[in-house]
Amino acid sequence: MRAERPPVPERLPAPAIDSHTHLDACGAATAADVTAILDRAESAGIARVVTVADDLAAARWAAQASTWDDRVYAAVAIHPTRTKEFGDAERSEVERLVTGERVVAVGETGLDYYWDYSPPEAQQEAFRWHIDLAKRAGLPLMIHDREAHEDVLRVLDEEGPPETVVFHCFSGDAEMARRCVAAGYVLSFAGTVTFRNARALHEAARLVPAEQFLVETDAPFLTPHPYRGRPNEPYCAAYTVRGLADLREERIEDVADAVRRNAERVFRLPSVTSG
20 has binding-site annotation: yes
Measured distance CA(105)–CA(141) in Å, rounded:
6
**Per-residue exposure over 176-213, b if at least 16 CB sit within 10 Å of its own CB, e if not:** bbeebbeeebbbbbbbbbbbeebeebbebbeebeeebb
Contacts of 275 (CB under 8 A, 6+ apart): 11, 12, 14, 15, 42, 45, 47
Q: What share of the chain is helix, strand, coil (3-state, %, to 5)?
A: 45, 15, 40
144 has binding-site annotation: yes
Measured distance CA(124)–CA(167) in Å, rounded:
16
149, 171, 203, 205 from 174: Cα distances, Å: 13, 10, 6, 8
Task: Please say whether the beta carbons of 139 and 162 come within 8 A.
Answer: yes
Q: Provide the Cα torsion 110, 165, 148, 83; round to 10°.
A: 0
Strands 186-189 and 103-112: unpaired
130 has binding-site annotation: no
- 3-state DSSP assignment of residue 111: strand
103 forms beta bridges with: 74
149 has binding-site annotation: no
108 has binding-site annotation: yes
Binding residue numbers for a divalent metal cation: 20, 22, 108, 144, 168, 218
The annotation places the binding site at 20, 22, 108, 144, 168, 218
